[in-house]
Structure 1
Amino acid sequence: MNYRKLKAFFLWCTIINGCLLALSTIVFILAPEAIFQIHSKLLPVSQETYNNAIYLFLGLFKIIWLTFNLVPYVALRVIGDDHTD
């Protein structure tokens, strides 16, 4: 895999996973009660426990996105296009 393909791969990973993170956050902000009702039918959980789980999920997703998508892409951008295979 050459440098340009690797850079394109991390760019698209960053964009797609960033959009998923943003969408998840927006949905949780705009409709927390509706989402809780759906999940509470599947799992018996209190509202407080559910909120903690969602915040934990969003936080871990953000850390993983930064670590495995954004940082490698930025590092490849810093290296520059003059890098050869």
Structure 2
Amino acid sequence: MTIETVRSFLGWCSVINMGLLLYWFLFIIFAHDWVCRVHGKWFNIPADKFDAIHYAGIMYFKLAIFVFNIIPYFALCIVG
């Protein structure tokens, strides 16, 4: 496996993961009440905790994208 292959793989993983993150963010912004109502029924979560849980989830997912995809991609761009 070459550096170019790994770099390409990490680049596409970054694009796909950022797309999922954007989808999650837009879904929470535009369908907040519906998602909160559904999750409230399933898990008995109040609205304020729902917002905190999703905010923390989005933050951790974004951090994981940077740590495991974007930073190694740029490191391989510098090396290769």
TM-score category, normalised to shorter length: over 0.9
Q: Equivalents in 2 of 1:63, 1:3: separation in Å?
A: 24
- Runs of 4+ in structure 1 deviating by more than 2 angstroms, as ranges, are none
Any stretches of 5+ residues in structure 2 without a counterpart?
Answer: none
Identity fraction in percent: 28
Q: Which residue in the other structure is 1:72 paired with?
A: 72
Q: Which residue in the other structure is 1:43 paired with?
A: 43
Cα deviation for residue 76 of structure 1 reads 1.1
SS in structure 2 at match of 1:45: coil
Residue by residue, what CA displacement relative to the aligned partner does 1:39-76 show, whole Å, maximum 9, x if unpaired? 11111111011110000000000111111011111111
Any stretches of 5+ residues in structure 1 without a counterpart?
Answer: 81-85
Q: Which residue in the other structure is 1:61 paired with?
A: 61
- Structure number with larger C-alpha Rg: 1
Q: Equivalents in 2 of 1:58, 1:28: separation in Å?
A: 10
Q: Which residue in the other structure is 1:27 paired with?
A: 27
TM-score, with normalisation over the residues of structure 1?
0.89
Q: Equivalents in 1 of 2:24, 2:66: separation in Å?
A: 16
TM-score, with normalisation over the residues of structure 2?
0.94
Q: Output the aligned Cα RMSD.
A: 0.9
Cα deviation for residue 4 of structure 1 reads 1.1
Q: How many residues align?
A: 80
